[in-house]
């Protein structure tokens, strides 16, 4: 019973952390809608406030490299997510093995740094960040 309770508490903590990372309210966590009204699994339709927030966070981060800052500033078009995930959409056109895949890894690193700054040890390994290319294919992902 204790182990089950611990898992539930950890799951709830992860869900709260994701809501904070993507800037959603607790009501927004129960929905798969993102900040511009589209679904988090669909093709992005507009630049959203969460993309702007990630860009500002990366630009102001002392831990982000110049390459990470440039990757986020130049390529992130939308950020959404729900239930333990952060989905980052970009204007990149390549695939996993391309140089765009390397750029996507930089975006994951910047988003991971943002999560670590905002939610230090509580959320380590609690969620998944996925970066998508322009057509919606996965370019990179990582845990936060």
Can you spell out the DSSP letters for 42-98? S---S--HHHHHHHHHHHH-SSS-HHHHHHHHHHEEEEE--SSEEEEEES----TTS
Average the pLDDT over 112-136 and give the result: 78
Q: Is the pLDDT of residue 140 over 90?
A: yes
Q: Is the pLDDT of residue 47 over 60?
A: no
> Is this prediction's pTM over 0.85?
no
Percentage above 70 pLDDT, the chain? 61
- Contact partners, residue 72, CB within 8 Å, separation at least 6: 54, 55, 58, 59, 64, 106, 107, 110
pLDDT in tens, 1-12: 444 444 444 444
């Amino acid at each position: 019973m204790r182990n089950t309770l611990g898992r539930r508490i950890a799951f709830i903590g992860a869900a709260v952390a994701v809501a904070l990372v993507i800037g959603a309210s607790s009501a927004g966590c129960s929905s798969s809608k993102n900040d511009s009204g589209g679904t988090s699994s669909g093709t992005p339709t507009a630049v959203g406030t969460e993309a702007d927030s990630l860009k500002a966070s990366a630009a102001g981060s002392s831990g982000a490299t110049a390459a990470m800052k440039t990757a986020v500033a130049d390529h992130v078009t939308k950020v959404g997510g729900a239930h333990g995930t952060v989905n980052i959409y970009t204007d990149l056109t390549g695939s996993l093995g391309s140089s765009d895949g390397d750029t996507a890894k930089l975006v994951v690193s910047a988003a991971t740094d943002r999560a670590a700054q905002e939610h230090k040890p509580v959320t380590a390994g609690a969620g998944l960040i996925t970066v998508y290319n322009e057509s919606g294919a996965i370019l990179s992902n990582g845990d936060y």
